[in-house]
Amino acid sequence: MTEQRRTERLDLPREPRGFKLPRVDQETFGRWAEGIARGMGTANFIVYMTLVISAWFLWNTLAPAGMRFDPYTFTFLTLVLSIQASYAAPLILLAQNRQADRDRVAMEEDRRRATMQKADTEYLAREIAALRIALGEVATRDFVRSELARLAEELDEAAQRRQRLGRRHRDDPAVRAGGEGLDEPRDEVDGDQPGDGRHDPAASHRPES
Protein backbone atom coordinates (compact mmCIF):
# COMPACT_ATOMS: atom_id res chain seq x y z
CA MET A 1 0.00 0.00 0.00
CA THR A 2 2.74 2.40 0.90
CA GLU A 3 4.51 1.81 -2.40
CA GLN A 4 1.27 2.42 -4.34
CA ARG A 5 0.67 5.67 -2.49
CA ARG A 6 4.17 6.78 -3.21
CA THR A 7 3.71 6.19 -6.93
CA GLU A 8 0.45 8.19 -7.06
CA ARG A 9 1.78 11.73 -6.95
CA LEU A 10 -0.61 14.64 -6.88
CA ASP A 11 1.75 17.01 -8.67
CA LEU A 12 1.72 14.89 -11.84
CA PRO A 13 -1.26 14.56 -14.20
CA ARG A 14 -2.86 11.17 -14.27
CA GLU A 15 -2.46 9.24 -17.45
CA PRO A 16 -5.72 8.78 -19.35
CA ARG A 17 -7.11 5.32 -19.25
CA GLY A 18 -9.31 3.48 -21.67
CA PHE A 19 -9.42 2.98 -25.39
CA LYS A 20 -7.68 5.63 -27.48
CA LEU A 21 -9.02 6.52 -30.88
CA PRO A 22 -6.53 7.21 -33.64
CA ARG A 23 -5.96 10.87 -34.28
CA VAL A 24 -6.74 12.20 -37.71
CA ASP A 25 -5.29 15.30 -39.30
CA GLN A 26 -8.27 17.62 -39.51
CA GLU A 27 -6.86 19.63 -42.37
CA THR A 28 -6.08 16.60 -44.50
CA PHE A 29 -9.42 14.98 -43.79
CA GLY A 30 -11.19 18.26 -44.47
CA ARG A 31 -9.54 18.64 -47.86
CA TRP A 32 -10.43 15.05 -48.69
CA ALA A 33 -14.06 15.62 -47.66
CA GLU A 34 -14.23 18.80 -49.74
CA GLY A 35 -12.89 16.92 -52.75
CA ILE A 36 -15.56 14.22 -52.40
CA ALA A 37 -18.33 16.77 -51.87
CA ARG A 38 -17.10 18.78 -54.83
CA GLY A 39 -17.06 15.65 -57.02
CA MET A 40 -20.55 14.61 -55.88
CA GLY A 41 -21.88 18.01 -56.79
CA THR A 42 -20.97 17.74 -60.46
CA ALA A 43 -22.95 16.57 -63.48
CA ASN A 44 -20.42 13.80 -64.19
CA PHE A 45 -21.20 12.09 -60.87
CA ILE A 46 -24.93 12.11 -61.59
CA VAL A 47 -24.41 10.72 -65.10
CA TYR A 48 -22.04 7.97 -63.96
CA MET A 49 -24.29 7.03 -61.04
CA THR A 50 -27.28 6.83 -63.39
CA LEU A 51 -25.35 4.57 -65.75
CA VAL A 52 -24.25 2.25 -62.92
CA ILE A 53 -27.77 1.94 -61.49
CA SER A 54 -29.23 1.34 -64.96
CA ALA A 55 -26.67 -1.40 -65.65
CA TRP A 56 -27.43 -2.86 -62.22
CA PHE A 57 -31.16 -3.01 -63.01
CA LEU A 58 -30.63 -4.48 -66.46
CA TRP A 59 -28.22 -7.17 -65.29
CA ASN A 60 -30.34 -8.30 -62.36
CA THR A 61 -33.49 -8.24 -64.50
CA LEU A 62 -32.45 -9.61 -67.92
CA ALA A 63 -29.55 -11.86 -66.99
CA PRO A 64 -30.08 -15.60 -66.35
CA ALA A 65 -31.35 -16.41 -62.87
CA GLY A 66 -28.11 -18.08 -61.82
CA MET A 67 -26.07 -15.00 -62.74
CA ARG A 68 -28.17 -12.44 -60.91
CA PHE A 69 -26.38 -11.26 -57.76
CA ASP A 70 -29.16 -8.89 -56.63
CA PRO A 71 -32.58 -10.10 -57.81
CA TYR A 72 -35.74 -8.00 -57.86
CA THR A 73 -36.37 -5.64 -54.95
CA PHE A 74 -32.63 -4.95 -55.30
CA THR A 75 -31.88 -5.19 -51.58
CA PHE A 76 -28.13 -4.92 -52.01
CA LEU A 77 -28.45 -1.82 -54.21
CA THR A 78 -30.68 -0.22 -51.60
CA LEU A 79 -28.06 -0.95 -48.94
CA VAL A 80 -25.29 0.54 -51.08
CA LEU A 81 -27.27 3.70 -51.78
CA SER A 82 -28.14 4.04 -48.10
CA ILE A 83 -24.47 3.76 -47.10
CA GLN A 84 -23.55 6.30 -49.76
CA ALA A 85 -26.18 8.72 -48.52
CA SER A 86 -25.15 8.22 -44.88
CA TYR A 87 -21.55 9.14 -45.72
CA ALA A 88 -22.35 11.81 -48.26
CA ALA A 89 -24.40 13.93 -45.86
CA PRO A 90 -21.63 14.34 -43.21
CA LEU A 91 -19.00 14.94 -45.87
CA ILE A 92 -21.11 17.65 -47.46
CA LEU A 93 -21.76 19.23 -44.05
CA LEU A 94 -18.04 19.15 -43.27
CA ALA A 95 -17.25 20.82 -46.59
CA GLN A 96 -19.93 23.44 -45.93
CA ASN A 97 -18.55 24.15 -42.46
CA ARG A 98 -15.05 24.62 -43.83
CA GLN A 99 -16.39 26.90 -46.53
CA ALA A 100 -18.33 28.85 -43.90
CA ASP A 101 -15.14 29.24 -41.86
CA ARG A 102 -13.27 30.51 -44.89
CA ASP A 103 -16.11 32.89 -45.69
CA ARG A 104 -16.07 34.22 -42.13
CA VAL A 105 -12.31 34.77 -42.24
CA ALA A 106 -12.62 36.46 -45.64
CA MET A 107 -15.46 38.63 -44.33
CA GLU A 108 -13.42 39.70 -41.33
CA GLU A 109 -10.47 40.50 -43.59
CA ASP A 110 -12.72 42.49 -45.93
CA ARG A 111 -14.15 44.38 -42.94
CA ARG A 112 -10.66 45.15 -41.67
CA ARG A 113 -9.56 46.36 -45.11
CA ALA A 114 -12.73 48.41 -45.47
CA THR A 115 -12.04 50.04 -42.10
CA MET A 116 -8.46 50.82 -43.13
CA GLN A 117 -9.59 52.21 -46.48
CA LYS A 118 -12.21 54.36 -44.74
CA ALA A 119 -9.58 55.73 -42.36
CA ASP A 120 -7.21 56.41 -45.27
CA THR A 121 -10.00 58.11 -47.22
CA GLU A 122 -10.91 60.33 -44.28
CA TYR A 123 -7.24 61.22 -43.80
CA LEU A 124 -6.83 62.10 -47.48
CA ALA A 125 -10.04 64.15 -47.38
CA ARG A 126 -8.70 66.16 -44.42
CA GLU A 127 -5.36 66.65 -46.17
CA ILE A 128 -7.06 67.83 -49.37
CA ALA A 129 -9.23 70.24 -47.39
CA ALA A 130 -6.13 71.62 -45.65
CA LEU A 131 -4.37 72.02 -49.01
CA ARG A 132 -7.38 73.86 -50.43
CA ILE A 133 -7.39 76.23 -47.47
CA ALA A 134 -3.65 76.79 -47.83
CA LEU A 135 -3.90 77.34 -51.59
CA GLY A 136 -6.69 79.85 -51.03
CA GLU A 137 -4.15 82.12 -49.29
CA VAL A 138 -1.39 81.66 -51.89
CA ALA A 139 -1.12 83.89 -54.94
CA THR A 140 -1.83 81.93 -58.05
CA ARG A 141 -0.24 82.46 -61.45
CA ASP A 142 -3.31 84.20 -62.85
CA PHE A 143 -3.51 86.49 -59.82
CA VAL A 144 0.17 87.47 -60.17
CA ARG A 145 -0.28 88.10 -63.88
CA SER A 146 -3.32 90.29 -63.28
CA GLU A 147 -1.48 92.28 -60.60
CA LEU A 148 1.56 92.75 -62.84
CA ALA A 149 -0.66 93.85 -65.72
CA ARG A 150 -2.44 96.35 -63.45
CA LEU A 151 0.91 97.67 -62.16
CA ALA A 152 2.22 98.02 -65.73
CA GLU A 153 -0.90 99.99 -66.68
CA GLU A 154 -0.45 102.30 -63.68
CA LEU A 155 3.20 102.86 -64.62
CA ASP A 156 2.21 103.65 -68.20
CA GLU A 157 -0.43 106.09 -67.00
CA ALA A 158 2.10 107.76 -64.66
CA ALA A 159 4.62 108.05 -67.50
CA GLN A 160 1.99 109.58 -69.79
CA ARG A 161 0.99 112.11 -67.12
CA ARG A 162 4.65 113.02 -66.62
CA GLN A 163 5.08 113.52 -70.37
CA ARG A 164 1.96 115.71 -70.55
CA LEU A 165 3.18 117.83 -67.65
CA GLY A 166 6.60 118.18 -69.31
CA ARG A 167 5.04 119.32 -72.60
CA ARG A 168 2.77 121.74 -70.74
CA HIS A 169 5.76 123.34 -68.96
CA ARG A 170 7.65 123.66 -72.22
CA ASP A 171 4.70 125.22 -74.03
CA ASP A 172 3.80 127.73 -71.24
CA PRO A 173 5.79 131.09 -71.75
CA ALA A 174 5.48 132.12 -68.07
CA VAL A 175 6.75 128.87 -66.84
CA ARG A 176 9.50 128.97 -69.42
CA ALA A 177 10.47 132.56 -68.44
CA GLY A 178 10.43 131.73 -64.79
CA GLY A 179 12.58 128.76 -65.52
CA GLU A 180 15.08 130.95 -67.38
CA GLY A 181 15.15 133.51 -64.52
CA LEU A 182 15.76 130.80 -62.06
CA ASP A 183 18.59 129.46 -64.10
CA GLU A 184 20.50 132.86 -64.20
CA PRO A 185 22.53 134.00 -61.14
CA ARG A 186 21.02 136.86 -59.18
CA ASP A 187 23.13 140.15 -59.39
CA GLU A 188 24.27 142.21 -56.46
CA VAL A 189 22.61 145.63 -55.99
CA ASP A 190 24.76 148.15 -57.95
CA GLY A 191 27.61 145.67 -57.85
CA ASP A 192 28.46 146.77 -54.25
CA GLN A 193 29.21 144.57 -51.30
CA PRO A 194 26.79 144.47 -48.37
CA GLY A 195 29.41 145.92 -46.03
CA ASP A 196 29.55 149.35 -47.85
CA GLY A 197 28.20 152.25 -45.73
CA ARG A 198 26.86 154.20 -48.67
CA HIS A 199 24.11 151.74 -49.19
CA ASP A 200 23.34 151.12 -45.55
CA PRO A 201 19.58 151.61 -45.07
CA ALA A 202 20.09 153.07 -41.64
CA ALA A 203 22.58 155.59 -42.99
CA SER A 204 20.20 156.74 -45.71
CA HIS A 205 17.61 157.79 -43.09
CA ARG A 206 20.03 159.73 -40.84
CA PRO A 207 19.20 163.47 -40.42
CA GLU A 208 21.58 165.88 -42.01
CA SER A 209 23.65 168.06 -39.71
**Average pLDDT score over residue span 14-24:** 71
When pLDDT is cut at 50, 70 and 90, the band that residue 207 belongs to is: very low
Distance of alpha carbon 67 from its chain centroid, rounded?
75
| DSSP, res 64 | -
Higher pLDDT, 140 or 173: 140
Instruction: Give burial (CB, 10 Å; 0-12/13-18/19+) of 108.
Output: exposed
Taking a C-beta distance cutoff of 8 angstroms, is the pair 167, 159 a contact?
Answer: no
Mean pLDDT computed over every residue of the chain: 79
Give the pLDDT of residue 202.
46
Rounded-to-integer distance, Cα 157 and Cα 29, Å = 94
Q: Which of 88, 8, 2 has its CA nearest to residue 46?
A: 88
Instruction: Output the pTM of the full model.
Output: 0.48
